[in-house]
A and B are shown apart, each in its own frame.
Chain A
Amino acid sequence: MKKDTIDSKIIELIKHDENISNSEISRKLGIPEEEVEARIRAFSDTRQKILIVDDEMDTLLPLKRSMEAEGYVVAEAYDGFEGIKKAKDEIPELIILDLMMPGMDGIEVCSRLKKDEITRNIPIIMLTAKDEIRDKIKGLEIGADDYVTKPFNLNELKARIKSVLRRARI
């Protein structure tokens, strides 16, 4: 069952009976009660959403935990195609994009996002192990808003995220 349809069904059930319990919804839709709870929390969640696109699970995980600790909602994608799809589906406030990825690399993902009407305004911070100047220039040319090289300082990344988000709000 697709996520969207589950969400819309939950919303329908709540509209029908405002006092319906989570366990009841869980039973009606055949999904775990915890998921129902998480989804309902997500509806009312006003926190900013960040999409992290990185093929390295080990890099992505601490980043995700860190962002969550900062109070962001985190969506994750493990390659470029998944990253573009999630960006369109979830419309995050910010995307952290790894440059060096198999299949479709970060630059390609970035330029596709910047060409798309729906995603063009989402700010992007590029992450990469490469630290050559020409990659920075190339990354910025295709519309990346900032650039952080691996291994990065977590606090620096956090500061940059805040700064980019503030800029985007204006």
Chain B
Amino acid sequence: MFQKYISRNNRWSLLAIIFLCIIVVTFITVLGIRANNEVKNIVQKQFTDQQLLLSRQMSTGIENFLNERTINIEILANSISDAPPPDRIISAFKNVYNSTNGIYVLEFVNKSGIVTIGYPEENTPFGYDIYNQGNPRNEPISEDFERAMKNKETYISSPMTLLEGGLGSFIWTPVYKDGEFKGMVLAIIKIEDISNRFLKNDDSSGIYLIDKNGMVLYDSSEKYLVGENYLTFLNDTNPLLRQILHEQINGEEGTGYYFEGNKSDKKLIAYSPIRWRDQQWSIAVTSSESEVGALIYSVYVKQGLFIGVAIGFILLGSLSIIILLSGWNKSLEIEVAKKTSELKNSNELLQNANVKLTELDRLKSDFISLVSHELKTPLSAIRTSAEFLESEGNTDTKVQKEMLANIIRNIDRQTHMINDILDLSKIEAGKMEFQFEEVDFHEVADIALENMEQPALKKRSTISRDIPDMLPSVYADREKLVIVLNNLLGNALKFTPDGGKILLSAKKMDDSIEIRVKDTGIGIEKDKLIKIFDKFYQVDSSSRRKTGGSGLGLSIAYGIVRAHGSEIYVESTPGKGSTFFFRLKKFCKQ
């Protein structure tokens, strides 16, 4: 029943714990996801900001590079406006070419549109007629030539395919002298040079460059062919990229994202415009969103590692503390259990002691009440007798003598009682002095029997002796031994009806003699045998009245015999008589 209750209780606890765990895990997961999203957003924003900075930096670099070159070329054109001889033009070209790297070729086109001078020579198509000879894309470059001539200012054409291959931008700078057209300086800057110089990208991001028509000038991914129009590669299902390209073509700066291929690959993009006279290009830096994820992941991995190590240390520390504490706890429990059992034991001892004390207290009050009664009774008799004698002066002498005898008898009785009490208290306190010596038991028996002669006569009882003549002497206190015999014989006499027979006998044993006092008295019930040596105990308390005596005799005898190293034993048959016996050590000379 109890077991069942326990198990049910446990099951409920288990369920509650699981439920709690689920709630906690859910809560932590939700928090984690939210935190992760926030982190992702922040990192993404930082990331795209970085992208934007990068694209802006690159666009600024390219812009400065191109504008600087253009100004150099304009200065060059101006310096040759007074139509110097061709060798000076070449040396000027050479000068500019060498001092500004990045220009593919410098050519001089004469008024008729024919390339006459160029540096470096290996890049110069001498004699090339811009009006009659086409180019790989069949674009009429003569239009650009004429526009620059007409506007009297530098014109930069959209990048186009060079004869030698690759894309290049044509910078047309007209040479005028006093309003008279002298010819045209044509400089070509290869896009390849620009891209090599500026568009350095790491592996994680992509860079592409388009002009204002959407033509691809550079693509780091090499996905799109240089010179093709970007927009033609895009299908209609990629509106995000279209929007971004639209903004790029419009010369705007910004960031955004689009999806590439299947929609799973999200790309982050930042773009900046490049403004170069008539040309307007746009540079874009792209990165896969997974890069951001990887970045976050790497941060998480490091954080996770740190947290893991920290938790490991904490757990290790806690575990060692728990082990330490449980060790303490165990020793504490053992200590407590030990103390508890000690306490229990001492409690039991105290209880037992208390029971004994209570019993002792009861015995003491009984004893006191008995002593008080025993002492007051003779006093009462003495007093009444004396008062009677005092008040009744004229009574006859017979009554007077009777009263005096009563007084004397009770004084004796009182004296006897007081002596007995003093003896007993001495014995009990261990202050009774014994003088052990060689004692002839015959002598002791003689004294004791003489003492008992009168009392025996009164009761018409006979006390006989059976003591062998050749009895060894004993080691004892003579006077105390007399008291023992007096008390035992007196006791026998008291409890033996008139005309009874009492026998004092002695018998030789191995190293002692045994002394017996046998009577034909009332005997003692078996259950009362152990009490007879108690102070004032008499089997029936009435017996004291009938027999007289303090009730201390047996206690005193017992105390004396014990001081002799023996005990008093008693055998009794109720109605037939009792035998008290004890042993005394033989005296041996030493």
Interface residues in chain A, defined as those with a beta carbon under 8 Å from any beta carbon in chain B: 55-56, 58-59, 61-63, 65-66, 69, 79, 100-103, 129-130, 150-155
Chain B contacts for A65, CB-based, 8 A? 388, 392, 395, 399, 402-403
What is the minimal beta-carbon distance from B299 to any residue of chain A, in angstroms? 97
Chain A contacts for B101, CB-based, 8 A? none
What is the minimal beta-carbon distance from A60 to any residue of chain B, in angstroms? 9
B376: which of A66, A151, A154, A155 is its contact (CB, 8 Å)? A151
B387: which of A56, A61, A101, A154 is its contact (CB, 8 Å)? A154
Known A59-B380, A152-B380; contact A130-B392, beta-carbon cutoff 8 A: no
What is the minimal beta-carbon distance from B364 to any residue of chain A, in angstroms? 16
B36 at the interface (CB under 8 A from A): no
What is the minimal beta-carbon distance from B526 to any residue of chain A, in angstroms? 21
In angstroms, Cα B430 to Cα A68, docked, is 50
CB pair A102 B384 closer than 8 Å: no
CB pair B406 A66 closer than 8 Å: no
Closest residue of chain A to B377 (Cβ to Cβ) is: A56
Known A58-B410, A66-B392, A130-B369; contact A102-B540, beta-carbon cutoff 8 A: yes
CB pair B380 A69 closer than 8 Å: no
Additional 17 contacts, C-beta under 8 A, given A102-B543, A130-B373 = A55-B542, A56-B381, A56-B545, A58-B377, A58-B378, A59-B380, A61-B403, A62-B385, A102-B541, A103-B542, A130-B369, A150-B376, A150-B379, A150-B380, A151-B384, A154-B387, A154-B388
What is the minimal beta-carbon distance from B165 to any residue of chain A, in angstroms? 142
Chain B contacts for A56, CB-based, 8 A? 377, 380-381, 545
In angstroms, Cα B130 to Cα A116, docked, is 172
In angstroms, Cα B372 to Cα A151, docked, is 11
Interface positions, chain B 335-391, Cβ under 8 Å from A, are: 369, 372-373, 376-385, 387-388, 391
In angstroms, Cα B380 to Cα A55, docked, is 13
15 residue pairs A–B, Cβ–Cβ below 8 Å: A56-B377, A56-B381, A58-B406, A58-B409, A59-B384, A61-B403, A62-B403, A65-B388, A66-B387, A66-B391, A66-B392, A69-B391, A102-B540, A102-B545, A150-B380
**How would you classify the secondary structure of chain B's contact residues: helix, strand, loop or mixed?**
helix
Closest residue of chain A to B369 (Cβ to Cβ) is: A130
What is the minimal beta-carbon distance from B535 to any residue of chain A, in angstroms? 17
Chain B contacts for A102, CB-based, 8 A? 540-546
Chain A contacts for B544, CB-based, 8 A? 102
Chain A contacts for B543, CB-based, 8 A? 102
What is the minimal beta-carbon distance from A94 to any residue of chain B, in angstroms? 17
CB pair B391 A155 closer than 8 Å: yes
Interface positions, chain B 533-583, Cβ under 8 Å from A, are: 540-546
Closest 6 CB pairs of A and B: A102-B542, A154-B387, A150-B380, A129-B376, A151-B380, A62-B385
What is the minimal beta-carbon distance from A132 to any residue of chain B, in angstroms? 9
In angstroms, Cα B380 to Cα A153, docked, is 9
Chain B contacts for A153, CB-based, 8 A? 383, 387
Interface residues on B, range: 20 to 34
What is the minimal beta-carbon distance from B242 to any residue of chain A, in angstroms? 122
What is the minimal beta-carbon distance from B269 to any residue of chain A, in angstroms? 116
Chain B contacts for A59, CB-based, 8 A? 377, 380-381, 384
CB pair B388 A66 closer than 8 Å: yes
Chain A contacts for B387, CB-based, 8 A? 62, 66, 153-155
What is the minimal beta-carbon distance from B367 to any residue of chain A, in angstroms? 14
CB pair A100 B373 closer than 8 Å: yes
What is the minimal beta-carbon distance from A24 to any residue of chain B, in angstroms? 29
Closest residue of chain A to B383 (Cβ to Cβ) is: A151
In angstroms, Cα B379 to Cα A62, docked, is 12
In angstroms, Cα B377 to Cα A150, docked, is 7
In angstroms, Cα B395 to Cα A113, docked, is 34
Chain B contacts for A62, CB-based, 8 A? 381, 384-385, 387-388, 403, 406
Closest residue of chain A to B542 (Cβ to Cβ) is: A102
Chain B contacts for A79, CB-based, 8 A? 542
B384: which of A55, A63, A101 is its contact (CB, 8 Å)? A63
What is the minimal beta-carbon distance from B385 to any residue of chain A, in angstroms? 4
CB pair A61 B402 closer than 8 Å: yes
Chain B contacts for A69, CB-based, 8 A? 388, 391-392, 395
CB pair B385 A129 closer than 8 Å: no
In angstroms, Cα B402 to Cα A58, docked, is 10
In angstroms, Cα B399 to Cα A100, docked, is 27
In angstroms, Cα B406 to Cα A63, docked, is 12
In angstroms, Cα B391 to Cα A154, docked, is 9
Chain B contacts for A58, CB-based, 8 A? 377-378, 381, 406, 409-410, 413
Chain A contacts for B385, CB-based, 8 A? 61-62
What is the minimal beta-carbon distance from A139 to any residue of chain B, in angstroms? 16
In angstroms, Cα B323 to Cα A39, docked, is 107
Chain A contacts for B406, CB-based, 8 A? 58, 61-62
Closest residue of chain B to A60 (Cβ to Cβ) is: B381
What is the minimal beta-carbon distance from B546 to any residue of chain A, in angstroms? 8
Chain B contacts for A101, CB-based, 8 A? 542, 545
What is the minimal beta-carbon distance from A57 to any residue of chain B, in angstroms? 8
Chain B contacts for A100, CB-based, 8 A? 373
Closest residue of chain B to A80 (Cβ to Cβ) is: B542
In angstroms, Cα B365 to Cα A130, docked, is 13
Most chain B CB atoms below 10 A, which of A61, A62, A130, A152: A62
What is the minimal beta-carbon distance from B536 to any residue of chain A, in angstroms? 13
In angstroms, Cα B402 to Cα A61, docked, is 9
CB pair B395 A129 closer than 8 Å: no
Closest residue of chain A to B541 (Cβ to Cβ) is: A102
In angstroms, Cα B127 to Cα A106, docked, is 172
Chain A contacts for B380, CB-based, 8 A? 56, 59, 129, 150-152
Chain B contacts for A63, CB-based, 8 A? 384
Chain A contacts for B373, CB-based, 8 A? 100, 129-130
Most chain B CB atoms below 10 A, which of A63, A101, A151, A155: A151
Q: Mark B213-242, 1 if CB is under 8 A from A, else 0.
A: 000000000000000000000000000000
CB pair A129 B545 closer than 8 Å: no
Chain A contacts for B372, CB-based, 8 A? 129-130
Chain B contacts for A55, CB-based, 8 A? 542, 545
What is the minimal beta-carbon distance from B542 to any residue of chain A, in angstroms? 2
Chain A contacts for B376, CB-based, 8 A? 129, 150-151
Closest residue of chain B to A66 (Cβ to Cβ) is: B388
Chain A contacts for B410, CB-based, 8 A? 58
In angstroms, Cα B392 to Cα A115, docked, is 37
Chain A contacts for B388, CB-based, 8 A? 62, 65-66, 69, 154
Most chain B CB atoms below 10 A, which of A55, A59, A154: A59
In angstroms, Cα B381 to Cα A61, docked, is 8
